[in-house]
Chains A and B, each alone.
Chain A
Amino acid sequence: MITKMNHVSVFVLNQESAFDFYVNKLGFKVHTDAAMGPGMRWLTVCPPEQPDLEITLMAIDEGMMFKKEAAEQMRELVRKGTFGFGVFQCNDLLATYEELKAKGVEFTKAPKKEFYGFEALFKDDSGNWFSLGEKEMGDR
């Protein structure tokens, strides 16, 4: 029986830049950073309170995962901000918003009270967007 998720992937345009974004700006912890050969890196990070959830910062490389054309299409889709890979949570949205803005994180939506909760939207350095909510969203 499935009990939990322990890996999730976010496709990024540049792993070094993504490292700086997720670790130095968002404050995530490095879980595994392994050199796999020239130009290849396995890099996973965790939100501070979820050390068992590895977010894989996945490079979009031509190879067995992507043929050349598919890799180019994928990079273009990421660059355009097509993908929203998930929802993050914080204890205080206004404080987190002010801090992330001060660190240079780009928000596409400022904190706003919606019927389902208090939410903002931001983009990572590649263009992927995420929702950021305060504690529980909705009535669940």
Chain B
Amino acid sequence: MSKEDFPKIYLYRRIVQAKLFIDSHFHENINLADTADEALFSKFHFIRLFKNIYGKTPHQYLTYVRIENAKLLLQSRMTVTDVCYDVGFESVSSFTGLFRRVVGQTPSSYQARQHQLLADIAEMPLKYIPNCFAEKKGWSKKSNFQEV
């Protein structure tokens, strides 16, 4: 794939690198203006191109990445406070409010549900596996099939 095929490919590469930078450094205090500078764009141009490709501004994307990583960490035994700071938020109340708006539950409720779900899967995994597969794998003695 050459520049002759896609003359704007160099633009894509710079935006993708900025997005990957956010993916790796979301937990830090990122200055998105610096990210625009490193990608060699004006701030306006950077935001516009980023949004064209990813459907979100860089700031919206950073928030999304932080919330998604918070959801993963809340599956562990970490406290909500520790998760908040670990993913880069600076205030527990802001984190809680934002999480609730985006996910539809408070971080505590979400964590409680996730823990319940994981405990259920560990205790009764066959509830989560179609019986045909469980039987083929030899995990279930109960057959759904009848001879035809």
Instruction: Give the total of A residues in contact with B, Cβ under 8 Å.
Output: 25
Q: Does B19 contact A (CB under 8 A)?
A: yes
Q: With both chains docked as a complex, state the minimum distance between the C-beta of B3 and any C-beta of chain A, in angstroms.
A: 12
Binds A, one of B26-34, B101-109, B133-141: B133-141
Q: Mark A35-73, 1 if CB is under 8 A from B, else 0.
A: 111001010000000000000100001011100000000
* Nearest-CB residue, chain B, relative to A6: B130
With A63-B138, A99-B16: A7-B128 Cβ-Cβ less than 8 Å:
no
A35, B139: Cα distance in complex, Å = 11
Q: Is the interface of B mostly helix, strand, loop or mixed?
A: helix
Tell me the complex Cα distance, A103–B21, Å: 12
Cβ of B148 within 8 Å of any chain A Cβ, yes or no, is no
Q: Is the CB of A7 within 8 A of B137?
A: no
30 contacts between A and B (CB under 8 A): A7-B133, A32-B121, A32-B128, A32-B129, A33-B121, A34-B122, A34-B129, A35-B125, A36-B125, A36-B137, A40-B137, A42-B128, A42-B129, A61-B137, A63-B137, A64-B135, A64-B136, A64-B137, A64-B138, A91-B53, A91-B54, A92-B52, A92-B53, A94-B6, A94-B9, A95-B12, A95-B16, A102-B16, A102-B20, A111-B1
Interface residues of B (CB under 8 A from A): 1, 6, 9, 12-13, 15-17, 19-20, 52-55, 121-122, 125, 128-130, 133, 135-139
Q: Which residues of A contact B (CB under 8 A)?
A: 7, 32-37, 40, 42, 56, 61, 63-65, 91-92, 94-95, 97-99, 102, 110-112
